[in-house]
A and B are shown apart, each in its own frame.
Chain A
Amino acid sequence: MRGFETFVSRVTVAFGGLILCLMVVQIMLDVFMRQFAGAGFPATAELVAKYYMVAVSFLPIAFTEIKRRHVEATIFADALPARARPVLLFGGFALSLVIYALITFGTAREALRQTSQGAYVETGTMNFLTWPSYWILPVAFGLMSVVLLLRLVGMATGSYVDHAHDPLEELDSHAGETH
């Protein structure tokens, strides 16, 4: 399980980093070429919107869960007795799994449809294929579903324990180092 999480994290950082860099470089190239070569880099807006943005928005979802960085409000749950908290957490993971699995199914079906049509958009005088970009979603949401499933298994078997993460306590414990 650890191994899988490490793998997902590494792949996300490598691939996501690549996409972020491509995005910076291509937009810069587009700006430069427009100024100094007349026309910009072909299909920049389409490539950024349909591929880079979809990838940057959704591929890190699983990685974000691995690092427990999805936004939640813990203020009410923290007020509950300690025994109730894992129950809530388990319920949250289960609901998340149901929803992400549904989205995975729905976006995969949509990607199949777009693929069978060979979806493209016209940019300038050329046709820019968009159908492959639809596959980013089922991959990203599927990955998230797997991570959530592993969380549920981990909680059931007791191998996953949520650390009550209090940033302020951590900060105090580091205070000696920084000052």
Chain B
Amino acid sequence: ETMRTTSAFGPSHVQATKVYPKLFEKLKEFTGGRWEGVDTPSGLLSPGEMNAGLRDGVSDMGPVILPYFAADYPESGLVAELSVVGRDNRAIAGAVTEYIVNCAECQAEFKKFGQVYLGADATTLYALLSTKPIRTLDDMKGLRIRTAGAVFTRLVEALGGTPAQMPSNELFEGLSQGVIDATYSSIPDLKNARLYDVVKYVTEINQGVFNAAATNNASRMLWERMGPEDRNALAHAAQYGQALGIEGWREAEAEARAEGAKKGIEFITPDDAMLKAANAFTEQHLASVVGTLEQRGVTDAGAKVAKYIALVEKWEGLVKDVRTTDDYAELRYREIWSKIDFSKYGE
């Protein structure tokens, strides 16, 4: 049988070049050729349409960016509020996946939207991609900085910048005209959003990643076409896709650094005062995050936050000696998915 996926971010995005092809390859292998996949990278569903699209079976699988549907995923969206915890995206993605798979309230959310959660990837660390040099807190004053998400908006405020919102397809124009001075994004965005020609400086304050993508959510309609064995194979294959995607973010960062250096982009390590201020923000944010989450209706938020932070620490230990993406995929399968009963999961 054939599953039709929508990786949604266009033909050159990691989702289309790495995650989904690898998933298809492994799915075919694990099911002895019973299942294969076809991806439509763009033109069918946009990322903002994925939640309804999967619910209604427009596509069999696709990435669901949780903050786009904040009201629908208050519990699963908890991980986005904690996106400043951790540095290694392999550890973060592992922790996110383990957290959501074993969180009954999160599972209920996906069920409500006719979807089955099959794991997450995570970007590399965010940085200030700017047209002006930012080395000190003084340099931040008065700069308009595009942010996505409440956590990073508060971070930029805490560092003295002025946060601004702008759709991603206007980033290039906004930066080149000077309507904004910087964007707080992952370094691979130099490549993904083609910002090489406008960004002149990258200031690395090492705070935060994007970790709230359910990378390979399956439509319930696909899930119902599969028996427990095939479901197991699909979940297993998804870990390979995500592992390659996570590696893809790291490779894209290396490429963006090399290409950026070639184009004369300066990579800046800011002074101690700025790094300290960024760390202080994170501590203060974690102190107040329980309140924020409870306002959103997350019950017992304190325990959940503690659990997630513990998982990130656990995964930092687990990934320390992992060398290949296949090993990492197997690690995730072993630690998380091998313990799942696929006749019940997602039902």
Q: With A39-B164, A40-B164 known to touch, is A127 a contact of B70 (CB < 8 Å)?
A: yes
| Residues 16-57 of chain A, each 1 if its beta carbon lies under 8 Å from chain B, else 0 | 000000000000000000100011100001100000000000
B153 in contact with A45 (CB, 8 Å) = no
Task: Choose among A45, A125, A131 the residue with the greatest number of B CB atoms under 10 Å from its CB.
Answer: A125
Q: With A117-B71, A117-B72 known to touch, is A38 a contact of B165 (CB < 8 Å)?
A: no
Which of B67, B142, B179 makes the CB contact (< 8 A) with A122?
A: B67
* Chain A residues with CB below 8 A from B150, complex form: 122, 124-126
B71 in contact with A45 (CB, 8 Å) = no
Residue A154 at the chain B interface, CB threshold 8 Å = no
Task: Choose among A40, A117, A124 the residue with the greatest number of B CB atoms under 10 Å from its CB.
Answer: A124
CA distance A40 to B179 in the complex (A): 11
CA distance A39 to B156 in the complex (A): 13
Category for how many chain B residues contact A: 20 to 34
B70 in contact with A38 (CB, 8 Å) = no
Residue B250 at the chain A interface, CB threshold 8 Å = no
Residue B193 at the chain A interface, CB threshold 8 Å = no
CA distance A60 to B170 in the complex (A): 28
B71 in contact with A119 (CB, 8 Å) = yes
B166 in contact with A45 (CB, 8 Å) = yes
A122 in contact with B149 (CB, 8 Å) = yes
| Residues 129-160 of chain B, each 1 if its beta carbon lies under 8 Å from chain A, else 0 | 00000000000001010010110011001000
* Chain A residues with CB below 8 A from B142, complex form: 38
CA distance A125 to B162 in the complex (A): 12
* Chain B residues with CB below 8 A from A46, complex form: 165
* Chain B residues with CB below 8 A from A39, complex form: 162-164
B71 in contact with A120 (CB, 8 Å) = yes
Name the interface residues of A100-147: CB closer than 8 Å to any CB of B: 110, 117-127, 131
A45 in contact with B70 (CB, 8 Å) = no
Which of A120, A121, A124, A131 makes the CB contact (< 8 A) with B153?
A: A124
CA distance A122 to B149 in the complex (A): 6
* Chain B residues with CB below 8 A from A120, complex form: 70-71
Task: Choose among A110, A117, A121, A122 the residue with the greatest number of B CB atoms under 10 Å from its CB.
Answer: A122
* Chain A residues with CB below 8 A from B147, complex form: 124
* Chain A residues with CB below 8 A from B52, complex form: 110
* Chain A residues with CB below 8 A from B167, complex form: 45
Which of A45, A117, A118, A131 makes the CB contact (< 8 A) with B165?
A: A45
CA distance A34 to B145 in the complex (A): 12
* Chain B residues with CB below 8 A from A110, complex form: 52
A124 to chain B, nearest CB (A): 5
B115 to chain A, nearest CB (A): 14
CA distance A123 to B68 in the complex (A): 11
* Chain B residues with CB below 8 A from A45, complex form: 165-167
A138 to chain B, nearest CB (A): 16
Determine the residue in chain B with the shortest Cβ distance to A38.
Answer: B162
* Chain B residues with CB below 8 A from A124, complex form: 147, 150, 153, 163, 165
CA distance A69 to B315 in the complex (A): 62
* Chain A residues with CB below 8 A from B179, complex form: 34
Q: With A38-B162, A40-B164, A45-B167 known to touch, is A118 a contact of B71 (CB < 8 Å)?
A: yes
B284 to chain A, nearest CB (A): 14
* Chain B residues with CB below 8 A from A34, complex form: 144, 164, 179
CA distance A126 to B166 in the complex (A): 15
* Chain B residues with CB below 8 A from A40, complex form: 164
Name the interface residues of B239-260: CB closer than 8 Å to any CB of A: none
**A-B pairs, 4 with minimum CB distance:** A119-B71, A117-B71, A125-B150, A124-B153
**B interface list, Cβ under 8 A from A:** 52, 67-72, 142, 144, 147, 149-150, 153-154, 157, 162-167, 179
Interface pairs (28), CB distance under 8 Å: A34-B144, A34-B179, A38-B142, A38-B162, A39-B162, A39-B163, A39-B164, A40-B164, A45-B165, A45-B167, A46-B165, A110-B52, A117-B72, A118-B71, A119-B72, A120-B70, A121-B68, A122-B149, A122-B150, A123-B165, A124-B150, A124-B153, A125-B150, A125-B153, A125-B154, A125-B157, A126-B150, A131-B71
